[in-house]
Amino acid sequence: EGLLLESGGGLVQPGGSLRLSCAASGFTFGNYAMTWVRQAPGKGLEWVSAIDASSRSTFFADSVKGRFTIARDNSKNTLYLQMNSLRAEDTALYYCAKQYINAWYGDLWGPGTLVTV
């Protein structure tokens, strides 16, 4: 079924940058689209960004457009989220999720990495 493990979270000053990573194992990473979803303290889930299996298409929530970029390295089975110009409202637990084949819902999620701005 597979595993996902996020890393790279931490404490950063407003205006700063962080790069999150999501290491995948146990499935053919290059066959699946991936997304990032976040949960601010005491709040619900918020979709952040998505990338298709080949990196041809990327998508972003309006709240992060122009500040965040998503990328993947299929040779390293790793997904990335580059976060620039961070704001206090970006404070959240960030999850990566493997998308079901040819669909945009997540059937495998990591435990999350905490970003505090």
Q: Which residues bind another protein (CB under 8 A)?
A: 35, 37, 44-47, 50, 59-62, 95, 97, 100, 103-107, 109-112
User: Could you tell me the smallest distance in angstroms from the CB atom of residue 116 to another protein?
Assistant: 17
User: Could you tell me the smallest distance in angstroms from the CB atom of residue 35 to another protein?
Assistant: 7
User: Could you tell me the smallest distance in angstroms from the CB atom of residue 75 to another protein?
Assistant: 25
User: 58 with 70: CB under 8 angstroms?
Assistant: yes
Kindly tell me which of 46 and 91 has the beta carbon lying closer to another protein.
Answer: 46
Kindly tell me which of 12 and 60 has the beta carbon lying closer to another protein.
Answer: 60
DSSP characters over 10-74 = EE--TT--EEEEEEEESS-GGGS-EEEEEE-TTS-EEEEEEE-TTSS-EEE-TTTTTTEEEEEET
Q: Are strands 10-11 and 113-116 parallel, antiparallel or unpaired?
A: parallel
Kindly tell me which of 60 and 82 has the beta carbon lying closer to another protein.
Answer: 60
